[in-house]
Chains A and B, each alone.
Chain A
Amino acid sequence: MPDEVRVQYQEELAKLEVRALEGLDLVTDQLARAIEAVEHRDSELAGLVIASDDVVDGRYLEVHQSILSLLATQAPVATDLRLIAALLHVMKNVERMGDQCVNIAKLIPLAGHEPPADERIVKDLISMGKQVRSQISQAKRAFEGRDVEMARDLVRRDDVVDNLNREIFRIALEIGDDADRREWAMTMILVARAIERTGDNTVDIGEQVAFVVTGLFREFQDASHPEGVSA
């Protein structure tokens, strides 16, 4: 068996993957804080979420720079090239998920300090947040283990989030004529929408797992053709 070579490069690549996937842990924490802030109408905690987004953005820039450096100096090919391309996608999704957490946090002061107009909506938002955090964790494990089946399962799990989002919309429609209650419900729809988009980001990461493993890039779900989920 020939000796292993380019050991330092392989170590750099492995470290890059760790740093990129740790970005998912950062947004998991951000999402947890954002949902907690929604639940407790906590503007201070929301402010912390907004401030902490710099950490997520910093990680995005750090990984991005490392990717450019590896491309320029090591000319990666084959699986290494696919991994690096996938990590770029992963980091973009991490950055987007971080922004969605900020979007949620910015909505919290607008929702006021009064008790929620409808507890069911808050309960559903908490469920959505828990589900998406679990999906982020699953996306990370799927990437680390190069597990395409686990990655593909994210589509099924994301359906739960989509259903909760629709449920919140339905409840909001029936919230009544009171202007304050309606404004609160509209704000919560925007929160739900941000969480729902974060769930979509986990599916996008799952697609990158399949790309790294198979070399084929296919969307698990095509939003423009929802009936035609690719095999």
Chain B
Amino acid sequence: MTQEHPSIAIAAQARGHHAPPMSREKVFEIEDLSVHYGDKPAVKNIGMDILHKNITALIGPSGCGKSTLIRCLNRMNDLIPSARVDGRLLYHGEDLYGPNVDPIQVRKLIGMVFQKPNPFPKSIYDNIAFGPRIVGMAGDMDEIVEGALRRAAIWDEVKDRLNDNAFGMSGGQQQRLCIARCIAVEPDVILMDEPCSALDPISTGKIEDLMTELKEDYSIVIVTHNMQQAARVSDMTAFLIVELTADERERWGEIVEYDETEKIFTNPSDQRTEDYVTGKVG
């Protein structure tokens, strides 16, 4: 542990702890979080605890700030010059936006999988080995690559063609390769921003099965437009909504309800959640 990178040691502790499936340990504590792009608010008044080794789904209509919120969790918004993040966001009890935190290390511990699979134009092997080489991970690289591909449930499909270009894989395989690439650097959290929106139902099913397996070892946060996917895979669900000023000049996202997924989809507390999940309003 170094003074500059406090999150590393914290995450190492977290990874060594095998929590039961419905862990109540917090991996993120978010209080009064807001994000602005320039003068325009994107999300406001966000408050929620994200639990360790759980799958947490963020759902809501377009423009409600789901992606903005998930991007706060590994400081991806830092890459947008006009973005400003206010409020408190603790990661295992430490301020993720503290002055001594290195965003690069944050993104190693808190990996992200995007909507469209984005493998590097390299071999399958090199796609996985790239991250561990960059961060200087110790150990046999072949074992690291195989381990990551196995955990992403794609090893059997690619073990005989590790030197093939990743672009030759199907979309679903590419997405699982991206998950393997994320796992290879031994993260603590995996963020997924609509990971199945470009995939067919079979590939989607494989990713969902994989998520359920991965939550044994990782905390997962997923943004999805597919409410049935949220219902199928997640333990906790947050529903966000678009709020408007009276003159409709400003719009931003806020959390309406955050609860166990079963509650959200069988007996939500807020009528707006009810109307959204039942599809009464768009």
Contacts and interface: CB of A to CB of B under 8 A. Distances in A.
Interface of A: 1-6, 9-10, 75-82, 215
17 contacts: A1-B281, A2-B281, A2-B282, A3-B282, A5-B280, A5-B282, A6-B279, A76-B278, A77-B266, A77-B278, A78-B265, A78-B267, A78-B273, A79-B278, A80-B278, A82-B267, A215-B266
Given A78-B266, A78-B267, A82-B266, A4 B278 contact: no
Contacts of B61: 2
Interface string B252-268: 00000000000011111
Contact of A4 (B268, B273, B281): B281
A77 B231 contact: yes
Contact of B281 (A3, A75, A215): A3
B100 interface: no
B265 A81 contact: yes
Interface residues of B, number: 17
Nearest to B281: A2
A75 B228 contact: yes
A77 B278 CA distance: 6
Interface of B: 61, 227-228, 231, 264-268, 273-274, 277-282
Contacts of B277: 77-78
A6 B281 CA distance: 8
Contacts of B280: 4-6, 10
B265 to A, nearest CB: 4
Contacts of A75: 228
Contacts of A6: 278-280
Contacts of A78: 264-268, 273-274, 277-278
Nearest to A79: B274
A5 B281 CA distance: 5
A10 B278 CA distance: 10
A75 B279 CA distance: 10
A145 B206 CA distance: 44
Contacts of B273: 78
A82 B61 CA distance: 24
A102 B127 CA distance: 72
B278 A215 contact: no
Nearest to B267: A215
B249 to A, nearest CB: 18
A149 to B, nearest CB: 20
A181 B282 CA distance: 69
A82 B265 CA distance: 10
A222 to B, nearest CB: 22
Nearest to B263: A215
B224 to A, nearest CB: 14
Contacts of B264: 78
Contacts of A215: 266-267
A76 B280 CA distance: 11
A9 B281 CA distance: 12
Contacts of B231: 77
A4 B282 CA distance: 7
Contacts of B268: 78
Contacts of B228: 75
B281 A77 contact: no
A10 B280 CA distance: 8
Give the 5 A-B residue pairs with the shortest CB-CB distance, closest first: A215-B267, A6-B279, A2-B281, A5-B282, A77-B265
B232 to A, nearest CB: 10
A82 B266 CA distance: 7
B272 to A, nearest CB: 10
B60 to A, nearest CB: 12
A81 B279 contact: no
Contacts of B265: 77-78, 81
Nearest to B242: A2
